[in-house]
Every structure is written in C-alpha cells, then in structure tokens.
Structure 1
Amino acid sequence: MTFQADPALVEQVILPAVRDLGGFDVRRALPSVQRRMVGPFAFFDAFGPAVFRSGEGVDTRPHPHIGLATLTYLIEGELDHRDSEGYFQTIRPGEVNLMTAGRGIVHSERSGQGFRDREARMFGFQTWLALPLELEEADPGFKHVEAGALPSLAEDGVHLKLLAGSLAGVTSPTPIFSETLYADLQLGAGKRFKLASDHIERAAYVVSGEVEVEGQDGRFIKDQLIVFKPGSEIVLRAASDTRVMLMGSEPLEGERHIYWNFVSSRLERIEQAADDWRSGRFPMVAGDPEFIPLPATAPRAA
C-alpha cells in the first residue's frame, strides 16, 4: 500500500506487506506493487519483534539463491546460518552476515539449541542486494562482521551504526559490490540528521518512533518506508525517540527479474535456476537434508 506524498522531498511512502509465519511476522517493504527496488535493494524484510517460548525457534529450511547478496542484521536474538559452501555462523545483535549467492548457493537459517532452551526474543532485518551485471555469476561466498568492527558515529542524541558503505569519512568493513549506504540510525526526541544527496536513490525505514522530514508536511511512523526524491537534501527530525534504517545507492545498470529466491538480469537464467532446484542440481547444506520446494508458479517476466 502506498500513500502519495508531496513530491518536493518524498517520492513515495510504502507500507510493507505482512506475512504471519506461525506467530512470527515478517514485514516486506520491498518489492512492492508500486516500487520494486531502491538501488540494488531488491528485498527489504523486517522480522519480529517476536517472543519464542522455550523449545521454539526459527526454522528456515535450505533454499537456493542466485544473482544477489543477502545482508542480515539483528537487533535482538540469534540465528545460525549454514550454507552449501560449508560456512556456519551464529549471528547475534549488532552483527552483520553477508552471503554472496552469485552463480548459486543454498543456505538455511535456524535457531540454535541455546536459543530454544529459554524464552527468547527475535528482531532483525534481511535485505537482498542485486549484484552488478559483471558479478551476477561470481563465486558464492560469506562474510561475518562483528558488532565492534562496524563504525559508529555518535554525538548528543544521535547514534549511527554503519552496516555497509561509507559515510562522513568512515567505511564499513562489510564487502559490498556498488556504491551503497546501509545504516542503523537512532535519534533522540527533537534531534536531527542530515542525509546528503550523495546517492541518487535513498530511503528510510522507520523501525520505531516518529520522524519528520524538514520541509515536508506530516510525520512518518513505524513500519513506513520513505523513499526520497533524487537530488533532494534530506534532514530528518525525530518527533520522539526514533530508530530508522537508512539505505542509498545508485540505480542499477538495467532491469532485474525477481522470482522466488532468484534475481537476475536474464529471465532465462532464472528459468535455469528454477529447473536446477527442481531437478536437484544445486549443492546442498551438509547435515541438513530438508529443503523448501520450488513454488508452483512458473518464472515470468517482471
């Protein structure tokens, strides 16, 4: 669902679609009917906050990807990543997992036994970044970045953690594939933050609180994705204690097709990946024989 805003500074305001995964809500702001991508950000999912009772947890069975990188960031909880390249990593709050699919990878995301042994909370974000044309068929890989390795910028009432890209003279160690900004910004009530127009496509997802865009009427609230007009200089002002995820990048060089977990500039490549998964030609995750089957719907131009 999209609300049309004054085009002076804000291009779109998007409400995410909500899916209930058995008491565990996922809110998907991208892609939407009105807008498919912001720069390379092809998917933007917020999952939780959710409370799991003892014995419960997340069980995302093995599934494939091509043509993208997944970036996972947690605010609460923990999650075990396993993939067909042999990587295993538990991600915890404030950390980043970046998995590069390239020509193809299979992974699972499950709660570990320690998480299941107690009542626990889960809250975080996963984004999919479409790869540049020359890297769509790159070798798959994985990178984990500890919370302490991510640069932070802090002053009175303003705290920013740089998850990927560069800002204000600092650069995140998270490997990225284009000029991309991704950050976790927290503002105390009444505090301001200037988002420069360095990137053509920019957006902010309101995690909590209420935020204003100076020069724009109204306030933006929890779970709204605010897409800013290219070239505009944005000043965010927190109407209350507020947290937002900032993203920005240049437009991709050409169209991307998205089907299920596959992203590619070529529809025939997605059709091949779908057939490979259906026929069992992808490598699998060692020790995890389960898998998510291919959807019944066929790939199509989109």
Structure 2
Amino acid sequence: MIEQTVTPTTHDLGQFEVRRVLPKRERTMVGPFIFVDEFGPAQLDVGSAMDVRPHPHINLATVTWLFEGAIEHRDSLGTFSTIRPGTVNLMTAGKGIVHSERSPAEERAIGPKLYGIQTWLALPDGREEIDPAFEAVNDLPVIEDQCAKATIIMGELWGKRATTTTYADTIYAEIVLAPTGSLPIEVSADERAVMLVGGEASVDGQALGLYELSVLAPGRNMMLSSERGGRIMLVGGEAFSTPRHAWWNFVSSDKERIRRASEDWKAGRFPKVPGDAEEYIPLPEGRPKTVTD
C-alpha cells in the first residue's frame, strides 16, 4: 500500500519544467535520497540549451539519469563526461566539489531534448567528508520480459546488483512497463518509494499520480502494474538515524559545516572547473529553493 504521497513543486524554466518532490516539509528523505528533481520531457528550440553554471556541493553524491537527450558534465576533478540514456553519472561531493551541466553543441544545433531525473544521496555518518570522486557506469543489470523492463541503477534488486558505488544501502531502478505489464516490488530496503514519470501505473491497485512520489509501506511485497504502459522510478534504502540538513546545494548532518561551505563558496575558496571556469552560480541571498530547516 501507499503510505504517503508527496506532490512535487514545479519550477517553470521557460522551455522546460523541473518538478521537485524531495526535500519537502512533509518528507525530507527516503533512504539516503534527500533530493529528487524530474525534468521534461521537453524539446528546446534550435540554439537553446540547458546551461547550469558551475556550483558547489558537499557531503552528498549526485546521481543523474536520462530518458532522452544528453548533458555534458564537467567538474573540479577535471572530469568531462557526456551523460546519455543508459549511463548513470555518480558524482561524489564528499568534502567538496564543483560541477557544471550543459547541453552539448550537437544538441544545441538541432534543439536539445531534455527528459530525466537527478537525485542527491546524503552520505552516511563517518563518510560525509570523504574525497570527491566521479564515475559513469553503463553496464547496468537489466531484468526483462515481454511486458516489463527494469534497469538496476544502484544496489541489489530482483537478484541482481549494479556495480555503481553505494555508500549507504541504496536501491534505485528505472522500470518500463508495456500495456498489461507488471513487476513485483519486493521487501528490499528500510524505505522505498516510486515515482511515475510517464504513462500510467498502479501499486497493488492504487493508482500513481504523475510526477508524485508515492512512499510505500515498509515490510510488504507489492505488485507494480500498468494497463496502458508507464515509466516508473523506484528509490530507497536504509533509513538514516542522524538527521540531514539541506541548504541550497549543500547537505550535511552539521549545520555549521553548511555555513562554512557557504562562506567558502562566497569567498572563492572552492576549486575551479577546468574548461568551464569563467562563470559560476552565486550564493543565493535569502532562503534558497532547496532547504529542509
């Protein structure tokens, strides 16, 4: 059964929308997931682009997963990676990293498509200040039959495990159901939630709302099904015993650590992004869009 439904906050960015379901006042985390943004589907005009200027993170890992389109990722480690459907980009901020996300030149020339999801995972106690890192993984396990296909992005599900690094117990998967398709959602984590990102689907007969986060009751096996076809994200993992705070692009168990990171960014003490060092997103004044307290 569905224990809680979280309705997204929609941000209209002109040619595409971003829908944020975490963090919200009524729910800040599901397992290690503390931030969930879904964007698109959208077709941008020729010459237009998504341009997210360099910005910092601490004490978290970002996970970017695309359904359509492409995004160029650059970070202060010197990484350059083009994110495409089927490849998961995991960027571990740890004690601090800076990155940018932009549409590739070939996408700008034809009008970029944007459709995907970005999540942040809070790092567990004792590992918040690890060294920053980056990995792109494309050899992900797939569970498939005639009417259902599930790609395991992180963790272990349906008897198979992704090689993607996890810092806390984590489950993350994309599920695509054809008409009349179904797939069991097993008891595999302390906390689990599903998000319908296209089409139609239900859990044990309870319909899922498009772009809503449906938190599932713990300790129960359930059946995900679709009459007309749908795309669903499954997220979850171990419940954190220590609260996490989020302010702008920073996540930490320590509010003082977030304050220091804010001062460091404002003072220019974070590292630069090679190949994208001319621009940056300034520290917001007042209350940012992402905040838990």
The bucket for the TM-score relative to the shorter chain is over 0.9
Q: Which residue of 2 is the match for residue 26 of structure 1?
A: 18
Percent same amino acid among aligned pairs?
46
Q: Which residue of 1 is the match for residue 213 of structure 2?
A: 225
Alignment of 1:29-178 (within 5 A): 29-146=21-138, 149-178=139-168
1:251 is the counterpart of 2:251: no
Alignment of 1:194-233 (within 5 A): 194-214=184-204, 218-233=206-221
TM-score (norm 2): 0.95
Single out whichever of 31-40 and 258-267 deviates more from structure 2: 31-40
Q: CA deviation at 1:239?
A: 2.8
Q: Distance in 2 between matches of 1:198 and 1:48?
A: 29
SS of residue matched to 1:135:
coil
Q: Which residue of 2 is the match for residue 5 of structure 1?
A: none
Q: Distance in 2 between matches of 1:281 and 1:220?
A: 44
Does the CA contact (< 8 Å) of 1:79 and 1:111 recur in 2?
yes
Query: Given residue 280 of structure 2, which amino acid in structure 1 is its aligned partner?
Result: F
Q: Distance in 1 between matches of 2:35 and 2:125?
A: 18
Q: Distance in 1 between matches of 2:133 and 2:158?
A: 29
Q: Distance in 2 between matches of 1:92 and 1:188?
A: 22
Q: Distance in 2 between matches of 1:237 and 1:41?
A: 24
Q: Which runs of 5+ in 2 are unaligned?
A: none
Q: Which runs of 5+ in 1 are unaligned?
A: 1-8
Does the CA contact (< 8 Å) of 2:94 and 2:132 recur in 1?
yes
Corresponding residue to 1:238 among 218, 226, 231: 226
Q: Distance in 2 between matches of 1:118 and 1:251?
A: 43
Query: Given residue 222 of structure 2, which amino acid in structure 1 is its aligned partner?
Result: I
Q: Distance in 2 between matches of 1:126 and 1:42?
A: 11
Query: Given residue 230 of structure 1, which amino acid in structure 2 is its aligned partner?
Result: P
Q: Distance in 2 between matches of 1:171 and 1:301?
A: 32
Q: Distance in 2 between matches of 1:198 and 1:163?
A: 15
Q: CA deviation at 1:301?
A: 7.7
Q: CA deviation at 1:233?
A: 1.9
Does the CA contact (< 8 Å) of 1:267 and 1:301 recur in 2?
no
Q: Distance in 2 between matches of 1:198 and 1:49?
A: 30
Q: Distance in 1 between matches of 2:234 and 2:11?
A: 23
Q: Deviations over 1:66-85 (max 9, x none)?
A: 00000001111101000111
Q: Distance in 2 between matches of 1:119 and 1:269?
A: 40
Q: Which residue of 1 is the match for residue 269 of structure 2?
A: 281
SS of residue matched to 1:274:
helix
Q: Distance in 1 between matches of 2:153 and 2:241?
A: 23
Q: Kindly report the root-mean-square deviation, in angstroms, between the aligned alpha carbons of the 2 structures.
A: 1.5
SS of residue matched to 1:221:
coil
Q: Which residue of 2 is the match for residue 296 of structure 1?
A: 285
Q: Distance in 2 between matches of 1:266 and 1:180?
A: 22
Q: Deviations over 1:149-194 (max 9, x none)?
A: 0110111201100111111221112111111110000112222211
Change in Cα spacing, 1:301 to 1:271, as seen in structure 2 (3 Å) is: farther
Query: Given residue 109 of structure 2, which amino acid in structure 1 is its aligned partner?
Result: D
Corresponding residue to 2:183 among 183, 193, 203: 193
TM-score (norm 1): 0.92
Q: CA deviation at 1:287?
A: 3.0
Q: Distance in 1 between matches of 2:152 and 2:163?
A: 9
Number of residues of Structure 1 aligned to a counterpart in Structure 2: 290
